[in-house]
Amino acid sequence: MNCSTLLCLMLTVVQLWLCSPTTQNHSAQNTDQFFTTVRRVKRAWIWEPLFVTEEQTSRMPVYVGQLKSDLDKQDGNLQYILTGEGAGSIFIIDEYNGKIYAIQKVDREEKPFYILRAQALNRNTRLPVEPESEFIIKVRDINDHEPQFLDGPYVATVPEMSPEGTSVAQVTATDGDDPSYGNSARLIYSLIQGQPYFSVEPKTGVIRMASQMDRETKDQYLVIIQAKDMVGQAGAFSATATVTINLSDMNDNPPKFEERLYYLNVSEDASVGTTVGKIMAEDSDTGENAAMNYFIEGDSSDVFDIITDNETQEGIILLKKRVDYESKRRHSVSVKVVNRYIDDRFLKEGPFEDTTTVKISVQDADEPPVFNLENYVMEIAEGVANGSLVGVVSARDPDNDDSPVRYSIVQGMHLKRLFSINEHNGTIITTEPLDREIASWHNITVTATETRNPEKISEANVYIQVLDVNDHAPEFAKFYETFVCENAVSNQLIQSISAVDKDDSQESHHFYFSLAQEGTNNSRFTIKDNQDNTAGIFTAKSGFSRQEQFYFYLPILILDNGSPPLTSTNTLTVTVCDCDTEVNTFYCRYGAFMYSMGLSTEALVAVLACILILLLFLLAIVAIRQQRKKSLFSEKVEEFRENIVRYDDEGGGEEDTEAFDISALRTRTVMRTCKPRKNITTEIHSLYRQSLQVGPDSAIFRQFISEKLEEANTDPSAPPYDSLQRYAFEGTGSLAGSLSSLGSDMSDVDQNYDYLSDWGPHFKQLAGMYASHRSARD
């Protein structure tokens, strides 16, 4: 291996070592020692430590280092050439001795090192005497950057009364200088403002509590932290940050009443739920730590109640029961307040509650009369005479003056008609008879009014029950339709009956059934009481004849168990049917109907036959009239027939909508009367103006409808019922008039068809035909 090869290998090793992070973190002394070691290599580049200090401000070039080959004889035959990063612009080399200079400022924070290449040439031969090799110029850092707090401003919160050493927050500053060289980027933290409550760790910037603090004394602190580089040495840069530290509340304070005794007043006429007054306990805490509940202790809790206003934390005392000035004029209420949420860590500070006394005075008021009962229940029998006593209500004035009271009924005009009250003594009597079956209860409202102060009125409800009296006799539960067959045998059940009673029996109703005395004589039926409010109707004899007797009327006596008992006679109608054993209800009803009409079956058949013949006769008359109408219509059609001239020429199309005058077809009178053909030429303009006015509202259209209506009304062949007739109305707007010969007594010879040539190309062929016809005639 020759010297050039060994030199290249060593330069490569140097380059890799210098570029590695480990090598870059070595101190400048280690780098100098390395270059001193490689300086003695034979036939290689002779290196000196290559450094340049950043931000050097000299106007002259700054010496960086020297490159020298061991083949350099100091005779000027070698030329040194520098290439690479910053060569020529930042760094230059003396081509005779290999000294490198920096001609511009460099900044380590922008670029920490530069990679360059060096080469030595023989000036005579221009051949390299050493292979090209790379080397590095490192930028040596100076302390040119101040520390910075990038995350400020800082805000932290810590619970009050936290123990010493509690971590509050951490602040961190950064420095743009090289942390691997010198102390330019080594920071130290200190506390400028915040003693003696807080401290800061110099190396980490962690802020800690230095003493216990009470939020109620002060709830916010401003702490100023300083960061210095160069480990705080002289000439170091520094920066400060402000940390706002808030103390969060803890429930470390109990509620306290401001007063030991409170005085309140309440009027005796205050209603239940009225606010008597408000009291409030103070709590230095905030939020839910200051939430509290109030309680009333002792017997006063029956008369008064207290609730907490969650917005203001006030205790609101409410009236739970009406108070009476005449009975008790003062009330002493013991009120306790307790924190709603208690922190066990502060229980040692004492109970989180307090008590106070509230003196409540009852104020006298003019009270309305007071009834001795809130609700009265009275009874009276139905049907009693007018003026009967129902009951008595009583009210008094609770005030000391004991004002007289006046009574009245205010619950509706209907009840006023049934009852009246003595306004002086409160006696209620009836004014009309009462019927329990109409209304079993009556609810009235009685008022009591002070005579000295009519505004003071009180009310009481009176419930009057009408007691039942047995004044309604029993009757059939429903209408019974009873049938019996002609061949019914003796003792055969034909009907089961039951009864009802409108009265309200104190015990269960019990009815007794029997035949009335007039029904037992020669009766063909018997009745059996089942002792369960029902009875059965049985036949007493066998065989019945409809010809002898169609209906049987049984008087049935029903007796109730009221006091006094009442009876009623109900008639049961039994119809005899033409049947064997089972009754056909429909057939029996039909027979009963015929019997009531006095008709036999044969007579009914004869009546139905007559009705059928009458219907057939009417249908025949209608058919004859229809046939006659068709024949008359055929005759009418013949009246309209005339010879029709057929033209194969094409007409004017849809635009030619008024080429024919059909006014001659409008009425029968016009059809039968011959009219001369109108002079079309002289009336073209008037007809054109009329054509623009034809419509449902035009006089011509209305006249047409009137004529057709009159014709239909006077037609003797019209059917004797409403009918629908349809007509086609063309109008009278044609400029050329009508081409029809209907209604004209003029012959073709008398006509002048010269106007056809004025009608346009559509009638050109027709005009030529009539022109040739006229020429032949002449």
**Confidence label for 51 from pLDDT (cuts 50, 70 and 90):** confident
CA separation for the pair 383, 37 (Å, rounded): 143
Bridge partners of residue 358, in order along the sequence: 262, 333
CA separation for the pair 387, 373 (Å, rounded): 24
Could you write out the DSSP letters of every residue in 51-102? Answer: EEETT---SSPEEEEEEEETT--SSS-EEEEEEETTBTTTEEE-TTT-EEEE
**Confidence label for 484 from pLDDT (cuts 50, 70 and 90):** confident
Query: Contact at 8 Å (CB) between 283 and 292?
Result: yes
Query: For residue 171, what pLDDT is reported?
Result: 92
Angle, CA 646 vertex, CA 644 and CA 651 arms, to 5°: 120
| For range 118-145, the mean pLDDT | 83
Query: For residue 601, what pLDDT is reported?
Result: 60
The sheet with strand 188-193 has its strands ordered as 154-159, 238-248, 220-228, 188-193
Query: For residue 594, what pLDDT is reported?
Result: 62
H helical segments located in 449-584: 517-520
Q: Comparing 121 with 520, which gets the higher pLDDT?
A: 121
Q: Is the dihedral of CA 178, 179, 181, 182 positive or negative?
A: positive
Query: For residue 16, what pLDDT is reported?
Result: 33
- Among 171-180, 229-238, 682-691, 768-777, the minimum mean pLDDT is found in 682-691
End-to-end CA distance of the chain: 150
Peptide bond before 254: cis, by omega within 30 degrees of 0?
Answer: no
Cβ atoms < 10 Å from Cβ of 310: 9
Q: pLDDT tens across 322-373, in order?
A: 888 888 889 999 999 998 888 777 777 778 889 999 999 998 888 889 899 9
* pTM (predicted TM-score): 0.41
Residue 426 Ramachandran class (φ > 0 left, ψ -120 to 50 alpha, else beta): left
Q: Comparing 744 with 483, which gets the higher pLDDT?
A: 483
How many H-runs (helices) and E-runs (strands) does the chain carry?
11, 40
Query: For residue 429, what pLDDT is reported?
Result: 92
- Among 414-428, 531-545, 627-641, the minimum mean pLDDT is found in 627-641
Query: For residue 358, what pLDDT is reported?
Result: 94
| For range 137-142, the mean pLDDT | 78
| For range 657-667, the mean pLDDT | 47
